[in-house]
Each structure stands twice: as structure tokens, then as C-alpha cells.
Amino acid sequence: MQGGFFNRYFPTYSVADQFRSCFLSVVVLVLVSSCSQYSQKKLPVAYHNLNARYNAYLIARDRLREVERYQHKTYQENYNQPLPILLPLDSTRLEPVKAQLDDAIKKASLVAERHQNSKWLDNSYILLGTARLYRQDYGNAMEVFKYVNTKGEGEDEKHEALIGLMRTYVETGAYTNGLNVAEYLRVQPLNKANTRDYYLTKAYLHQQKQEYAVSAALLDATFPFLKKGETTARLHLIAGQLYDLTGKPEQAIAHYRQVLKNRPTYEQSFYATIYSIQGGRTSNERFTRMLNDRKNTDLKDKIYYTMGLLEARNGRYPKAIEYWKKSIHETTSNTSQIPYTYQEMGKLYFEKLQNFPTAKAYYDSALALLPQQSADYKALANRKVFLDEFVEQQQTIQTEDSLQKLAQMNPAALDQHLNEAIDRKQKQQQALLARAQEIATQAANRPATSSDIPADQRWLLYNPIMVTQGRTEFMQKWGTRQLEDNWRRSQKESSAQIGAVDSPPQTGTALNANGPESSSSGVLSAAERKAQKDALYATIPFSPEALKLSNQRLENAYYHLGKLYKFQFNQPDQAIPTFETLLTRYPNTGVKPEVYYLLMVSNDQLNRTSTWKEKLLAEFPTSSYARQVGKTGTTGAHTATGETEAQRVYTEIYNLYKANNLSEALSRAETAMSALTGSLIEDKMAVLRVILIGKVRGVEPYRQALIEFIRDYPTSSLLPKVREMQIAAEQPTAKRK
């Protein structure tokens, strides 16, 4: 009984059973140990295929899919710009899923380390390269993709790796290398998935190169390989944008309609509708329906922006400005639309209304809010440089004229005039303070950052519009000032603010005569009034020396203003009276030869007859501008001896430049230009002269010399280099080497 119980629950094994168990263990051990990752036998290969797939490859693939889902979920589209075909890579934005990315790299690496004979080896390498690409580890990503292409066994995997390599080249800006890879893949028999990815990556490459027509055509070739869904809707939206950029509104509208047929998100359908409207015509009733739709509450700013675009296109500029102001007013929590609205307003004032000071103010606001990586930022910043200079020269003329008029008034009238100006500015300051107090009181009664507060009632520092307006008003009042102690002292005030005391005040501009130090009660004390008046008196040119300096500033301002009209704004009709005023008021100006020349070419541009050419040749026959005029009558041919001599002269001057004898080199270059007219190296000498001007005379003469070279040598092979130099010179912080 006891033995039966014991044997049931604690069985004993015979010698044969023990031998059989030991034998099976040895067999399993031998089989496992024989499964080398380098063996090509069926059993080892099957073992490593199984382990590589389920213990490494699938896990790495799923981790990468998690990363991609997170990227798509968190990426913020900027519908004011053409959307990128492939989402931009940014490892910092992927920081929350860094663990998944690291795990994908770890698991994909296991296949290479432990399962070399697995059929999942190439696929795992591709996952590894893709993960490194997402981490912006471009060097290692390239190595992995190249390895698969060289050592891989499957053609499809090789093609997939080359597509990944092409994407890596695009991200690093190596477009030529990317195109070489694309050209190779173009003639390869790609499977359906690789064909789709090839077209998308190549379209992205051409989009990055701003070759929008090619990019759009490649997207068209991609759509047959795509299923309906948000991704396809997004690509149709991008195709529409690209066709809009290439001036093909019919094709663009066709793609916008396709967006609505591919199960888009609400944002995608909304912007497809908006872009369709921008490319064609629509009725006010349609806009009214969109504005009344509750789903568009946070999108009203975009609707009003579009309404403004259509009005501007039809030449109804006041209405366009009205709609754009409504767009800014309707902005809620998302302020990304604001800088583009300011940009359009600045563009309208600049190109259509030619109100440059107002255009500058709107461009200032746009640049303050526009992301620096925006495609429009650089062009906008370059245009603003010229607008800043234009406004500066205009203010100089207005200020110096006003100050000279004040100097001619009798003391009693002048004293009364200054008192009236001080009172007027004090009233304006009090009005601004009252408005600020009203906004502060309203903000104190509700959360300042709440998105349902109207844009014009938010607390100042939470409202980017108000901050930008404040910055603009500050610069109009105080000028550009360094951050330092006592920055607002009366003697440091800009002459533009003090001198223009007899000018009508500008609405919305802080014009307090003595700055923030004035009394907040609204009534100036006798001491405060005297201090302000003394500061104003100090800027008036009563003495001959002060008057001479004032006239020098005026002469310089008219000269630069005329050149801005001629070269930067292409307004010869405005340049001509500006230059004529300069010659009338300052007949002995040192820039008379150049002004004669500019008056001649400005009149020629307007097909007007003038005598400026004759005056230039008669009064300044040996000037460089007279030589330039004489070029039109020469053959420009030099003998071999003349070319040799020209080369010798150039070499001597260049050696002076290399030896840092800059002043002598510039003097020699100026003298040699006439002798080298028509030679093969004339433009080369002209470029050297431009560089020397920058080294010796400074930034402004350097910029002007660049403009003159572009004007005088439009067919020179050196022109691209000179244009690069001009772009660099236009940057406020640019340094020339």
C-alpha cells in the first residue's frame, strides 16, 4: 500500500529510461550547438530565421513604427508654406520616443551579431540604417545603406537601401549624390513598394531644390501606388501647392478636389477649400458660410486672410487691408498666421501703394514673428535692409529741413512753437498711458493667457502683436539703442524724434518729448518743461558749424535716397527729382559725375530725352562714368600686347592687395580701370576694385560698388560670385574676408 503510494507520486526510473533521457539531451545539445550562424544547412538556417524574425526583426520594426506614428501625430503643419513631401527629421522632437529608437537599433543589430545566415539580415540592416537616419546620425546611416547595397543578397532589399541612401543625401543637402542614386534606380525593376518610395523620395529631393514642376510630376506618378487615407490626401494637397507655385491653377484645383475624396482630416479639407478659393473665384456668400461655421472658429484668421488676398488681386487694396486687419484681430491661440498676414500687408504697401515707411513697419512686425527657417525669411530680411535705409534717409531729410527752418525763426516764435510741440506730445503720451491702463484693468479680471480673450485685449507681453507694435513704436521714438545705463537721457535722443517737432503726429506712435521720465500726472513741471526745451534747442543748427554739418547730412541723404529709388526700388521717376534736388541745393557736391550718370540712365529708362550725357562728357571727361558712357562706341578689342600689359598691371595691383597695401592698391585700380576698358580682364579688375573699396572705404561704399558692378557687367562670368558677395554684404552682421 505504502509502496504503491510512493511509486505513484515519486516514480523510480529504470536504467533504460535514464539512458534514453540522457541520450535525448545529448542529441538536443548537439543539434543546438551545430546551429552556427555561419552554417548554410537547413536546420541552422531555419533556427536562425526563426530567432531573427521573432526575437529581433519584428521588435525593431514595431519600435520604428511607434516612432513614425509619434512623428506624424506631433508634427505641426505650417499651411502658410508648401508642406514638405516627407516629414522633416528632427532628433530633438523625437526625444520622447528615444527609448523606442534605441531599442530598434539594439534589436536590429542583434541580427547582424547573432544571425548572419538569416534571411532577415538585409531587412534588419535597413531598419538599422533607418533608425540612424531618424536620429540624424547621417554618417552611420549612409554606411549601413551602402553595406546592404554592396553585400546584400535580395535585389528588393538593395533597392530599398538605395532609396534610404537617397533620402540621407537629401537630408544632408548632397543633392547631386542623391540624383546619381535616383538615376541608377530609375532603370532598375523596382517592386511596388519601392517604386512608391522612390517617387516620393525623388519628389522630395526636387522640392528641396525648389524644382517644383518636376516634384509635382513625380507626385502624380506616385498616386496610383497609394491607398485612400490621410496620407494620400496630404500628398494631393502638396501637389496642389506645387502646381500653384508653377502657375498651373487648373491642375492645382484638380488635386485640391482629390483631397476631399481621400478621407482627409478636417484641417486638410479646410485648407484644400481655402487654396481652391485662392486660385480662383468665389462668392461672398461662401465666405459668410465658412465664417458662420462653428468648426471654423479657430480658423477665421485664415478665412479673412484669403479674403484679403482676393481683394488685393482684384486691385481693391483698402478692402484687402481691412480684411487682413480682421484676420489679425480674429487670431486666437494659434498665432502662426500673423506674420504671413503682416508680410502680405507689407508687400502691398511696398509693391502696389509704394508707401515705403508703412511697408517697413509691417515687414518689421512680420520678421519679429516669422520663424527664421521659413522660406520667406531671408528674402524678407534682405528687403527690409533697404527699407530701413530708405526710412532713415527720409527721416534725415525731414529732420534736418525742420531744424534749419526752426533756426531761421525769431526767438519768440520759436519758443512758442517748441512749447506747443511739447504740449502736443505730452497729450499723446497721456492718451497712450490711459489706453494701457484700460487694457491692464481688463486683463486683471480674467486669465491673461486665455485663448478666448480678444487679441486686442490680451495682456501686452502675452500678445505678440502688441509686443511687435511696441517694438516698432520704440524704434520710431528712440531709434536703435544699445542696452546700457541711462539709455533714455535727453542728450541721447535721436535727432529724428527731436527735430521733427513741427511735423504732424503719427497715430499710434509714442511721441513723448522727454521719454518715460515725464510726469504721469499729465502736467509738466517748470523744471521738466525747461529740460525738454533745452534738449530741443541743443539740436537746432544756430551756428555756422552746426549748419554746415546739417547740410552735409542732407546732401548725403538725398544722394543715398536717389540711389535707393533707382537701384533697389526700380523707380527712376522718383530717382530723377531726388537727384535734381541734390544738384539744385548742393551744386558743388562731390558726387556730381555719378549723379549726372544716374540721371542719364534714369531718363533713358523712361525713354525721355535729356542733356545729362553731354553735361557728363563736357564737365567730367576723364571720370569713370564718362568712360562707361564711351564704352558704347568702342569695339572693346585689345591687341595681344595690350592684353599682356593689362595682365601685368592687374598682377601688380593684386600683389599690393596681398601685401596689405590696400590704399595704394585701390588708387592704382581706380587709375587702371580706364586703360583696361575692353580688355579680357576688365571685369576681373573691377571685382578687385570692389573688394578694395570694401577694405578701405567701408560697408556702404562696398555695397554701392557691388551694385555698380552688376549694372556695368551684366554678362560677366564673375557675376554669380559678385551676387553672392552682395547677399553677404546685405546681412547686418555679415563679415567680408
Which phi and psi (to 5°) does residue 156 adopt? -60, -40
pLDDT-derived band at 257, boundaries 50, 70, 90: very high
What would the mean pLDDT of 435-441 be, rounded to a whole number? 72
By C-alpha distance, which of 589, 582, 585, 548 is closest to 563?
582
Q: Alpha-carbon distance 435 to 429, whole Å? A: 10
Q: What is the per-residue pLDDT for 661?
A: 86
What pLDDT is stored for residue 566 in this prediction? 86
Whether pLDDT at 514 is above 60: no
Cα 536 to Cα 419: distance, rounded to the nearest angstrom: 10
731/378 Cα distance (integer angstroms): 9
H/E stretch holding 549 reads helix 544-563
Residue 269 has pLDDT above 80, yes or no: yes
Average pLDDT of span 595-603: 90
pTM as predicted:
0.63
Higher-confidence residue: 320 or 736? 320
Per-residue model confidence (pLDDT) at position 278: 81
Q: What is the arithmetic mean of pLDDT over 148-173?
A: 92
Does residue 458 contact residue 436 with C-beta atoms inside 8 Å?
Answer: no
CB 533 within 8 A of CB 518: no
Q: Say if residues 122 and 153 touch (Cβ distance below 8 Å).
A: yes
Comparing 517 with 51, the larger pLDDT belongs to 51
> Which residue type, as a one-letter code, is found at position 311?
E
Q: Cell numbers 511596388 correspond to what residue?
A: 192
12 confidence band (pLDDT: 50, 70, 90): low
Binned at pLDDT 50, 70 and 90, residue 626 comes out as confident
The span from the CA of 463 to the CA of 465, in Å, is: 5
pLDDT at 507 over 50: no
Confidence of residue 735 (pLDDT cuts 50, 70, 90): very low
Q: What's the pLDDT score for residue 733?
A: 46
Kindly state the average pLDDT of the residues 208-224: 94
Residue range 541-554: mean pLDDT, rounded: 91
Which of 135, 132, 196, 136 has its CA nearest to residue 160? 196
Give the CATH number of domain 546-633. Answer: 1.25.40.10
**Proportion of the chain above pLDDT 90, given as a percent:** 31
- Residues 619, 623, 624, 629: what is their CA dihedral angle, to the nearest 10 degrees? 30
Min mean pLDDT across 180-184, 212-216, 491-495 is at 491-495
Q: Is the pLDDT of residue 389 over 70?
A: yes
User: DSSP string spanning 226-263?
Assistant: --SSHHHHHHHHHHHHHHHHTT-HHHHHHHHHHHHTS-
The 3-state secondary structure of 99-140 reads: HHHHHHHHHHHHHHHHCCCCCCHHHHHHHHHHHHHHCCCHHH
Tens-digit pLDDT profile for residues 695-726: 888 888 898 889 888 877 766 778 888 888 88
> What distances in angstroms separate CA 415 from CA 256, 409, 421, 496, 501, one per listed residue?
67, 9, 10, 19, 12
Burial code (b: 16+ CB inside 10 Å, e: under 16) for 513-525 equals bbbeebeeeeebe
User: What is the pLDDT of the chain when averaged over all its residues?
Assistant: 79
- The C-alpha atoms of residue 471 and residue 367 are separated, in whole angstroms, by 12
Looking at residue 53, what is its pLDDT?
62
Query: What percentage of the chain exceeds 70 in pLDDT?
Result: 76
Summarize the confidence of residues 108-121 as an average pLDDT.
65
685 near 669, Cβ under 8 Å? Answer: yes
Nearest to 498 by CA among 519, 477, 473, 516: 477
| Rounded average pLDDT over 71-97 | 88
Q: List, for residues 97-107, the tens digit of each pLDDT value.
A: 888 888 888 88
Among 680, 678, 674, CA closest to 689:
674
Q: How far apart are CA 585 and CA 634, in angstroms?
A: 36
> What cell does 240 get?
496642389
Question: In the structure, what pLDDT confidence band is assigned to residue 506 with cuts at 50, 70 and 90?
Answer: very low
- The CATH number corresponding to 640-730 among 3.40.50.720, 3.30.2270.10, 1.25.40.10, 3.90.1720.10 equals 1.25.40.10
Domain ranges for the chain, please list them: 1-33, 390-482+490-545, 546-633, 640-730
Report CA dihedral (79, 83, 88, 94) to the nearest 10 degrees.
Answer: 40
User: Of the candidates 634, 712, 696, which has an alpha carbon nearest to the alpha carbon of residue 660?
Assistant: 696
Contact 230, 263 (CB under 8 A): yes
Average pLDDT, integer, range 685-689: 91
Query: What pLDDT is stored for residue 1 in this prediction?
Result: 44
Whether 267 contacts 259, CB under 8 Å: no
Q: How confident is residue 241, by pLDDT bands cut at 50, 70 and 90?
A: very high
Q: Which of 529, 476, 530 is nearest to 505 (CA)?
A: 476
pLDDT on residue 76: 87
pLDDT of 373: 78
What is the CA angle 392-395-399, rounded to 5? Answer: 140
What DSSP designation does 82 have? P
- CB atoms near residue 179 (< 10 Å): 17
In angstroms, the CA 601 to CA 629 distance is 10
What digits encode the pLDDT tens for the residues 124-153?
A: 888 889 999 998 899 999 999 999 899 888
**Residue 490, C-alpha cell as written in the block:** 535727453
For residue 330, give the DSSP letter: T
Q: Which residues of 371-398 are buried (b: 16+ CB within 10 A; e: fewer)?
A: eeebebbeebbebbebbbbbbbbbbbbb
| Distance, CA of 159 to CA of 572 (rounded, Å) | 58
Whole-angstrom Cα distance, residue 402 to residue 322?
34
> Which of 128-137, 553-562, 619-628 has the least mean pLDDT?
619-628
User: Tens digits of per-residue pLDDT, 658-683?
Assistant: 888 888 899 888 888 877 776 778 88
What's the 3-state SS for 427-456? HHHHHHHHHHHHHHHHHHCCCCCCCCCCHH
Which DSSP category does 717 fall into? T
Instruction: Count other C-beta atoms under 10 Å from residue 260's C-beta.
Output: 15
User: For 456-489, how does the pLDDT look when each residue is reduced to its tens digit (9 = 90+)?
Assistant: 444 444 444 455 556 545 554 555 455 555 555 5
Over residues 254-266, the mean pLDDT reads 92
CA dist 655 and 690 (Å) reads 16
d(C-alpha 362, C-alpha 360), whole Å: 5
C-alpha–C-alpha distance, residues 614 and 611, integer Å: 5
Type of residue found at 70: Y
Q: Are 588 and 582 in contact (CB under 8 A)?
A: no
